[in-house]
Amino acid sequence: MTDNHNSHPQLALLTKQYARDLAETAPSTDLDARIARLVAGGVNSGVPALKVRPRSLHFFAAAAGFAALAIGIGVFIGMKVEHARKIAADLASERDTAWPPADLTMWPTDSVSFKIPAEYSAQGTLVAVDPESKHTSTRYWIDVVVSNDGTFRIEQIVPADAAHKKGGSDGVAPQIQ
Amino acid sequence: MNDDSECMARLATGDADALRDLYQRHGRALLRFSSAMCRSRQAAEDMVHDTFVALMREPITFDPALGTVFGYLCGVLRHRVSRHFRQQKRWVVLDTESETSPANDGEVHSPADEIARNELTAAFRRAMLELPLQHREVIALCDLEELPYTTVAGILDCPVGTVRSRLHRARALLTIRLASLELIDLQGEPSIAHRGLS
């Protein structure tokens, strides 16, 4: 039996009153009927409950083996992936260190050179002219090299007379280098 | 071997009639405990029913060395109630007023209407239902059912000292709550007496 000496006297009164009212609570006919059905149905009746079946040692051994196998496969795949990644990284670093190679020049090997005749215009700029036309002022040859990467450069500008004396080509003459 | 233990032994062998005997012997007390714990009468009866279903399915889990059959049934019921409130937390109560004070809505089947026949008892019930579950159950077992501390300790699966301290705390909380409702006068005035309870 519990003691009520440490509770408030009015609380004790209220508790007793509530306990008296609660004591008059009786099971409803519905609950009685449900229990009766439960009894009539036997041990296998009632609301299906989640029943935990006892597991055998073989089950746990198989589960542990399967788990170990799964972990092993995971580790193997991880190692393979890591190895492939390392190889790729090595190849990439080798390519990076080997680029550019020591014998690489800044100029591409596949290019075309042109000799373009040009004369000075009235504005003082050098403009291309028809090689067959009769030149009125000093004619120059502009050696232009167009590379296969789309760039071009002017190699040299020489007077036509000097180039002619050296045996240079007359007109636009591509030369594959 | 007492009658309860005999019933449990019969139940363990598959004798379903033993369940009816246990229900007739302890069903009412279990319903009192369940009604003190649950807000609705239907939920309280469901908890009692679930307790006997569990007893029917797993009678072998009872160990006479650990306590009485009634204590065992109270423990099973307590777990059911605890699970019921955990599940209820997943839902939102739209009308808390009608839930906590069913005496005011005129429902015939409401628990407070049936249990608490006057305003004071209904207010006490509402205040008790506002207590945390662990305090509510210790009040229900110690003060309402008047079970010994050792039995309550067995039901709650805790030391007797814990039962005492928890009961002390529960009473204090209930006193404060009832004082806020002006049902208890903390200054010593007999506020209950003139309301008709003495």
Name the DSSP class of B143. I
Cα-trace Rg, chain A: 51
* CATH 1.10.10.10 corresponds to the domain B131-198: yes
pLDDT of A62: 93
The CA distance from B28 to B30, in Å, is 5
A127: enclosing H helix or E strand: strand A126-128
In chain B (198 residues long), the average pLDDT of successive 10-residue segments reads: 78 84 90 89 90 82 80 89 80 48 42 60 86 90 89 88 92 88 69 46
Helix (H, G, I), strand (E, B) or coil at B49: helix
Domain boundaries, chain B: 1-91, 131-198
User: Which of B24, B37, B83, B146 to substitute to test the interface with A, most A CBs within 10 Å?
Assistant: B146
pLDDT of A14: 85
A35 interface with B at CB cutoff 8 Å: yes
* Dihedral over Cα of B152, B156, B157, B161: its sign: negative
The CA distance from B42 to B87, in Å, is 16
pLDDT of A69: 95
Q: Quickly tell me which residue has 């071009």 as its tokens.
A: A152
Segment A112-148, tens digit of pLDDT: 888 888 988 888 888 888 888 877 788 888 998 888 7
pTM for this model (two decimals): 0.55
pLDDT at position A63 over 80 = yes
Cβ atoms of residues B183 and B120 within 8 Å = yes
The CA distance from A147 to B118, in Å, is 106
pLDDT of B96: 45
Q: Quickly tell me which residue has 């319903």 as its tokens.
A: B31
- Residue-by-residue DSSP string for B70-128: HHHHHHHHHHHHHHHHHHHTTS--S-HHHHH-GGGTT-TT-HHHHH--SHHHHHHHHHH
Nearest residue of B to residue A41, measured between CA atoms: B16
Question: CB distance A21–B115 less than 8 Å?
Answer: yes
pLDDT of A76: 95
The token duo for B78 is 């307590």
Question: CB distance A2–B124 less than 8 Å?
Answer: no
pLDDT of B95: 46
pLDDT of B117: 56
Phi, psi of A154 (to 5 degrees): -95, 115
pLDDT of A83: 93
User: Which of A43, A44, A50 to substitute to test the interface with B, most B CBs within 10 Å?
Assistant: A43
Fold classification of B1-91 is Rna Polymerase Sigma Factor; Chain: A (1.10.1740)
The token duo for A116 is 């373009």
pLDDT of B106: 38
pLDDT of B165: 92
Of the pLDDT bands very low, low, confident and very high (cuts 50, 70, 90), residue A81 is: very high
pLDDT of A3: 56
SS (H, E, C) B6-45: HHHHHHHCCCCHHHHHHHHHHHHHHHHHHHHHCCCHHHHH
Q: Which residue has the higher pLDDT, A143 or A110?
A: A143
Q: Quickly tell me which residue has 């026949």 as its tokens.
A: B117
Residues 6+ apart with CB under 8 A from B166: B134, B135, B138, B158
Nearest residue of A to residue B48, measured between CA atoms: A31
Question: CB distance A11–B57 less than 8 Å?
Answer: no
Cβ atoms of residues A154 and A143 within 8 Å = yes
The CA distance from A49 to B54, in Å, is 8
**Average pLDDT score over chain A:** 78
Segment A20-43, tens digit of pLDDT: 888 888 888 988 888 888 888 765
Q: Which residue has the higher pLDDT, A174 or A131?
A: A131
CA atoms within 13 A on the CB side of A72: 6
How close is the nearest chain B Cα to the Cα of A41, in Å?
A: 8
Question: CB distance A26–B19 less than 8 Å?
Answer: no
